[in-house]
Amino acid sequence: MSGSTDKCITFWIKENQQWKCNQTLSDNKSKIKQLSLNFSYNSQLSCGTDKLILLIQKIIIIILMEYNLKNIS
């Protein structure tokens, strides 16, 4: 994970001994000065030159579907 003066946070993956951009977030409104990632890798904090702290969390939504087995012939 990296952040820079372009106001973007970039997530990287390693493929074939090379680092490739996996995802880019552009939610920050100023230059990124600091990043922090939790141990579960589902929450990250960023702060920038505008003195605001941005919390980004990965939300997993589980949709449960019920099937009416009586209608299946």
Q: What single-letter amino acid sits at 5?
A: T
> Which residues does 40 contact at the CB level (< 8 Å), separation at least 6?
none
On whether residue 71 sits in a domain, the answer given is no
On whether residue 33 sits in a domain, the answer given is yes
pLDDT at residue number 72 = 52
On whether residue 66 sits in a domain, the answer given is no
Q: Where are the beta strands (DSSP E) in the chain?
A: 2-3, 9-15, 18-25, 32-37, 43-48, 53-57
On whether residue 9 sits in a domain, the answer given is yes
Q: Is the pTM of this model over 0.85?
A: no
For residue range 26-65, list pLDDT tens digits in order. 878 899 998 888 887 778 888 888 888 888 887 665 555 4
